[in-house]
Amino acid sequence: MPPQHLDQVLVDDPKLAEGLTAFGEFLRTSYFYPSGSYEKCEDSRAPNAWATISKKFDPFIKRGMDEKNYKYFSIIRVTATSSAYFELADEEIAAIIPVRVIPGTTPQVSWKPLVPGYVTYVNRDFQVSAALDFVLVTT
């Protein structure tokens, strides 16, 4: 049975945690541009940096997407002064992978904490409160 909206799963792998930390450090200095209520990473090195750890996330992403092939990923930043609303198409499923939490903040998705090391599944529109960098994987 696929996870429900806002279900979370712990990615309990120390090597993956190290990879996320390194990716977060990379994002800290990457270029993001405004895109509505959030910022989107436009660093040309980002896809390769994500590719180095993304395959390890496959089992966790596919579990929430009911073995559908995911096609897209975006690297998103929600700043400390905003929250962002995301709309999903009908029957679209997404996985939120928190990478870097801005110190002193407690980011949430629709009132549920977003913590690096967890994958959160969503299957309808959602709101993310500040402040973090995350990867949004969609079908």
Q: Token match 């966790």: residue?
A: 60
Residue 52: helix, strand or coil by DSSP? helix
Note the pTM of the prediction, 2 decimals.
0.91
pLDDT of residue 64: 64
In a domain, 119, yes or no: yes
User: Residue 84 is part of a domain; what is its CATH number?
Assistant: 2.60.120.10
Residues 6+ apart with CB under 8 A from 35: none
In a domain, 2, yes or no: no
Residue 49: helix, strand or coil by DSSP? helix
Report the sign of the C-alpha dihedral through residues 17, 34, 80, 82, in that order. Answer: negative
* Low pLDDT (below 70) residues in the chain: 1-2, 63-71
In a domain, 1, yes or no: no
pLDDT of residue 8: 93
Domain count across the chain: 1
Residue 105 to residues 11, 83, 84, 130, Cα–Cα distance (Å):
22, 12, 15, 7
CA-based end-to-end distance of the chain? 18
Contact (CB, 8 A) for 67 and 92:
no
In a domain, 3, yes or no: no
Structural domain for 100, as ranges: 8-138
